[in-house]
Structure 1
Amino acid sequence: MKSHTRQSRFAKLKTVAMIAVAVLMAKVLVSMVTEYRNYFPPNFEAVFLLGREATFQGAYPPAFYTHIIASPIALLIATYLMLSGKWRTHATLHRRLGKVQLGLVLGLVVPSGIVMSIWSFSGPLAGWGFATQAVATGVTIVVAARYAMRRDFASHQRWATYCFILLIAPLLFRIVAGLTIVTDTETIVGYQINAWLSWVIPLALFELRRYRKASRLVSEPTAAEGST
């Protein structure tokens, strides 16, 4: 009875924590979008564009505007796809939006992200982090689409989750960057590390959760057999 109560409390705390994270992510996304007023036309006194006037030329401006418009749309679609995956009544819309998402990510989000990474403000180390994240996003959505076509929905969901994590990673990056600014600990090295860890750590945590869940599923039948 006590074990069941603990599990119930843990489930409630987990739900509350997930809601809190979702609200925080939504707030960060809204704050990012509200900054767009500084980008049309570009205000080089704004936080993101500060000091970028010299590099805001050539292929960078088209990539920048493509990225800031396409990425929030892709994130919103990804959120719906993650929620609607098990809703049979949404199956048709899920498939159609999945195709839209595939074209949006591969055609706009990934290429623009790679172009922007070339002119990363904090040097090549951060640039490689952003570029690798962009390529990984493209790979995960392609693999997710292939599994969906094969009707291997368990594998499709796993790779779609990888893609979702990579799409929300910029929000995590923004949260950490904001904390460093507030605490006056912002450094170039910290920015470069954040460019990698903001997506590597969430992927690692997801894999750890999958591993622990799989281990429990293996151990439970063994324990049941031992008790008989």
Structure 2
Amino acid sequence: MLAFATALFTARYLTLDPEVFLDQQRAVYLAHRAPLALHVGGGVLAVLLGPWQFLPRLRERRPGLHRLTGRLYLLAVLATGTGGLLLAPHGLVGPIAPIGFTALALLLLISSALAWRSARRRDLVRHRAWATRSYALILAAATLRIWLPVMDLAGVPFDQAYAAVGWTCWLINLVVAEHLIGRFPRPAAAPPVG
């Protein structure tokens, strides 16, 4: 539900209406509308498509739909990651937050590419792990929107909060993803030969 709420909240940026932009970023977004549209459009689509990829019944009963949805997710990730890489150098609270957001975009693109590669090789254990990491990184959109208000309520000045959120919005998600991956059932080992 958090993913869908985030997608709906963030989709308003696609109007490119300056009134919906964060005050501190309005000038940057107005100067970089195309990367913003790529980043937000791809992110919204990836956030919405991701949860369906983790439904076992869908994978088992409709593998073709799982593959199609996965390809659409990868295209969405490519758009949001590319837009993010183009926007990050112009981000607030440089260089701390821009470096964090650049790392997020790079890791998202890499983990998604590795998920795709392992699926192509039919290495489903690695595919599931990399797909989990990829979606954890996409969900940085949601955790960012949780952390900023929480830090504001805690009295943390905006610049400090934003610098921290540039990292915490995805690092914590990856820690949770690694915990989940560690709980995945492992395939049975092949019996010894001879």
Query: Which category describes the TM-score, using the shorter chain as reference length?
Result: 0.7 to 0.9
Flag the 1:105–1:56 CA change in 2: closer, same or farther, 3 A: closer
Contact kept? 2:46, 2:76, Cα under 8 Å = yes
Residue 188 of structure 1 and its aligned partner are, at CA, apart by 1.3
Three-state SS of the structure 2 residue aligned to 1:55 is helix
Residue 166 of structure 1 and its aligned partner are, at CA, apart by 0.3
Match of 1:55 in 2: 28
Match of 1:153 in 2: 124
The structure 2 residue matched to 1:41, chosen from 17, 21, 39, is 17
Flag the 1:85–1:119 CA change in 2: closer, same or farther, 3 A: farther
The unaligned stretches of length 5 or more in structure 2 are: 187-194
Contact kept? 1:148, 1:156, Cα under 8 Å = yes
Distance (Å, rounded) in 2 between the aligned partners of 1:115 and 1:109: 10
The structure 2 residue matched to 1:201, chosen from 150, 172, 190, is 172
Q: Report the number of matched residues.
A: 186
Residue 183 of structure 1 and its aligned partner are, at CA, apart by 3.8
Residue 24 of structure 1 and its aligned partner are, at CA, apart by 4.0
Residue 189 of structure 1 and its aligned partner are, at CA, apart by 2.0
Distance (Å, rounded) in 1 between the aligned partners of 2:56 and 2:89: 36
The structure 2 residue matched to 1:185, chosen from 147, 156, 166, is 156
- The alignment-based identity, stated in percent, is 23
Contact kept? 1:84, 1:90, Cα under 8 Å = no
Match of 2:72 in 1: 100
TM-score by length of 1: 0.72
TM-score by length of 2: 0.83
The structure 2 residue matched to 1:120, chosen from 66, 87, 91, is 91
Contact kept? 2:53, 2:59, Cα under 8 Å = no
Flag the 1:194–1:85 CA change in 2: closer, same or farther, 3 A: farther
Contact kept? 1:165, 1:202, Cα under 8 Å = yes
Match of 1:32 in 2: 10
Is 2:47 the counterpart of 1:75?
A: yes
Residue 57 of structure 1 and its aligned partner are, at CA, apart by 5.3
Contact kept? 2:115, 2:130, Cα under 8 Å = yes
The unaligned stretches of length 5 or more in structure 1 are: 1-22, 218-228
Contact kept? 1:122, 1:188, Cα under 8 Å = yes
Three-state SS of the structure 2 residue aligned to 1:87 is helix
CA RMSD across the alignment: 2.5
Write the letter of the residue equivalent to 2:9.
S
The structure 1 residue matched to 2:103, chosen from 114, 132, 136, is 132
Distance (Å, rounded) in 2 between the aligned partners of 1:118 and 1:51: 15
Distance (Å, rounded) in 1 between the aligned partners of 2:40 and 2:147: 19
- Once the two structures are superposed, the pairs formed by residues 82-97 of structure 1 within 5 Å of their partners are 82-84=54-56, 87-97=59-69
